[in-house]
């Protein structure tokens, strides 16, 4: 079926079946176009709780995102187009590893990036996203009256937080990283900048330190979006150091700006495991357990606390 026809069918089925579709900025443009809400992980976590007032919520993103939506909406059916769309970064940390760190550093708060499993969240004190991580670490260290926190699983985000706070960030584990963002090296970025000397460089905090330090702006996907939206007329060219989906969105929304991907391979294979065809099939099989993401209630209840705390502190 051609794209426009498929999108129309999806919109009709969505209305008929009481469905909300949430899509992350890293989804392909054709999925972004049919979403009711588009955003980054913090924005979509809030939306799942506050605005997704339908029986079914489809989360077109990776598994930890759908898990977070399920934890926040235990009365709704949360579905993901492809359960194999996982996040390798989340897999760097298990609940057992967190418990071992807590034993080694008693009294320190555990801050986990939302890119973590529900089981890890369930043994955490607070969650954070790339946009609120500095604020959250500052607040939780004050609340606990300590100058160190346990932080995982992204070591680059942890490093970024430690550079921007007076808090000692103990990484759980030392080498957790996003395979997509870590692909961008300083050499790559310098070479893209050399080809585009009059450009502004925006990168994600999941990038390695020397890449972040070479950039003009470091921020979440929502932060980068806002930067381009509010940019001066003189800023016409941007190098985007995050997953290609954001560049696709920016290119549509700001056609007068020139957007360049910092490196051609900044594509998250897992985010791209969802497709319009899969969403269409799901809409005919909404009660099929192949799609439903249900976090066991004992884990969901515990994981809800650090997520709600994050939302309160953000
Ligand atoms: Fe995980 Fe990185 Fe892909 Fe995001 S871009 S889902 S952090 S692997």
Q: What is the pLDDT of residues 99-155, one digit of tens each?
A: 999 999 999 999 999 999 999 999 999 999 999 999 999 999 999 999 999 999 999
The percent of residues in the chain predicted with pLDDT above 90, rounded, is: 92
User: Quick one: which of 154, 141, 200, 161 has its CA closest to 181?
Assistant: 154
Which of the listed residues 62, 113, 206, 224 should we mutate to test ligand 1's pocket, taking the one with most ligand atoms within 8 A of CB? 62
Distance (Å) of CA 244 to CA 12, 68, 180, 206, 237: 28, 23, 10, 15, 16
Please say whether the beta carbons of 79 and 56 come within 8 A: yes
Distance CA 154, CA 162 (A): 12
Q: How many CB atoms within 10 Å of residue 96?
A: 11
Distance (Å) of CA 257 to CA 84, 243, 308: 35, 18, 37
**Bridge-partner residues for 237, per DSSP?**
258
Q: Categorise residue 146: left if φ over 0, alpha if ψ from -120 to 50, beta otherwise.
A: beta
Q: What is the band of 182 on the pLDDT scale with cuts at 50, 70, 90?
A: very high
Please say whether the beta carbons of 116 and 310 come within 8 A: no
The percent of residues in the chain predicted with pLDDT above 70, rounded, is: 100
Which of the listed residues 40, 112, 114, 115 should we mutate to test ligand 1's pocket, taking the one with most ligand atoms within 8 A of CB? 115
Residue 213 is encoded by which pair of tokens? Answer: 């330090």
pTM of the model: 0.95
Mean pLDDT of the chain: 96
Residue 120 is encoded by which pair of tokens? Answer: 């890890």
Residue owning tokens 């100058």? 147
């Amino acid at each position: 079926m051609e794209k426009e026809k498929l999108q129309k069918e999806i919109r009709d089925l969505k209305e008929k079946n009481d469905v909300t579709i949430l899509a992350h900025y890293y989804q392909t443009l054709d999925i972004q176009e049919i979403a009711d809400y588009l955003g980054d992980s913090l924005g979509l976590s809030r939306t799942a709780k506050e605005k997704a007032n339908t029986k079914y919520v489809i989360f077109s993103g990776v598994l930890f995102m759908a898990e977070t939506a399920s934890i926040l909406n235990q009365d709704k059916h949360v579905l993901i187009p492809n359960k194999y769309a996982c996040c390798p970064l989340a897999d760097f940390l298990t609940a057992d590893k967190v418990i071992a760190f807590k034993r080694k550093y008693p009294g320190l708060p555990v801050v986990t990036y939302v890119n973590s499993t529900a089981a890890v969240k369930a043994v955490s004190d607070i969650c954070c996203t790339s946009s609120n991580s500095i604020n959250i670490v500052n607040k939780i260290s004050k609340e606990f009256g300590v100058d160190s926190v346990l932080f995982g699983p992204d070591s680059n985000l942890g490093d970024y937080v430690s550079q921007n706070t007076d808090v000692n960030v103990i990484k759980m584990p030392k080498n957790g990283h996003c395979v997509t963002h870590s692909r961008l090296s300083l050499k790559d970025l310098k070479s893209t900048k050399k080809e585009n000397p009059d450009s502004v460089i925006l990168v994600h905090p999941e990038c390695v330190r020397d890449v972040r330090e070479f950039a003009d702006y470091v921020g979440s996907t929502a932060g980068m979006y806002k930067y381009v939206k509010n940019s001066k007329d003189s800023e016409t060219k941007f190098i985007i150091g995050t997953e290609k989906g954001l560049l696709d969105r920016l290119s549509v929304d700001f056609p007068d700006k020139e957007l360049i991907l910092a490196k051609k391979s900044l594509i998250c294979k897992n985010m791209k495991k969802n497709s319009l065809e899969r969403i269409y099939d799901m809409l005919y099989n909404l009660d099929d357990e192949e799609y439903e993401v249900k976090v066991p209630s004992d884990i969901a209840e515990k994981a809800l606390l650090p997520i709600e705390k994050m939302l309160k502190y953000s």
